[in-house]
Amino acid sequence: MPEVDLAPLFPILEEYKQHGRTALLPVLHAVQEKYGYIPAAVATNVAKALNTPLADIYGVIDFYALFYRQPVGKVVMHVCADPVCAMAGAEGVMKMMASRLEPVSPGLQEVAAVTVEQSPCLKLCEMAPALLIQGEAISHADTQT
């Protein structure tokens, strides 16, 4: 298990801990952005700082699709899988991405370069098919882009 540097975590906790549990989602967002996922050591510290049981912290992490327990790729791409984008060709984009990227076996120390996931509707339907790359919207996506 790689050592996790907790130094970046402390300023985040300082800012939010006075609010208690209601600050949980903002804290997890900040952690996700800093670390790329929610490491176990971080989760434990968050639980203490916000005075919330660790089980509840994990309940929240697992419930919400944008929080990850395991390291994900440096670049995360969400490809919309809902009807409008599918009609416009999102499946093709998804298949192309999956075939281009080399599979990474679990347990490897290095983080994969890219993670591609299917996502529910991204609300870019008027510009289908749509992707989110690291949170930035890409629309009218085709195999070229």
Residues that bind another protein (CB under 8 A): 20-26, 28-29, 50, 52, 56, 59-60, 63-67, 78, 81-84, 86-87, 119-128, 132, 135-137
Between 19 and 100, name the residue whose CB sits nearer to another protein: 19
Between 29 and 34, name the residue whose CB sits nearer to another protein: 29
- For 80, list phi and psi in degrees, rounded to 5: -65, 135
- Report the 10 Å Cβ neighbour count for 46: 25
Please tell me the total number of residues recorded for the chain in this structure.
Answer: 145
Q: Give dist(CA 52, CA 36) in Å, integer.
A: 22
Rounded to a whole number of angstroms, the minimum distance from the CB of residue 84 to another protein is 5
Q: Is the dihedral of CA 15, 67, 103, 108 positive or negative?
A: positive
Rounded to a whole number of angstroms, the minimum distance from the CB of residue 80 to another protein is 9
Between 102 and 136, name the residue whose CB sits nearer to another protein: 136
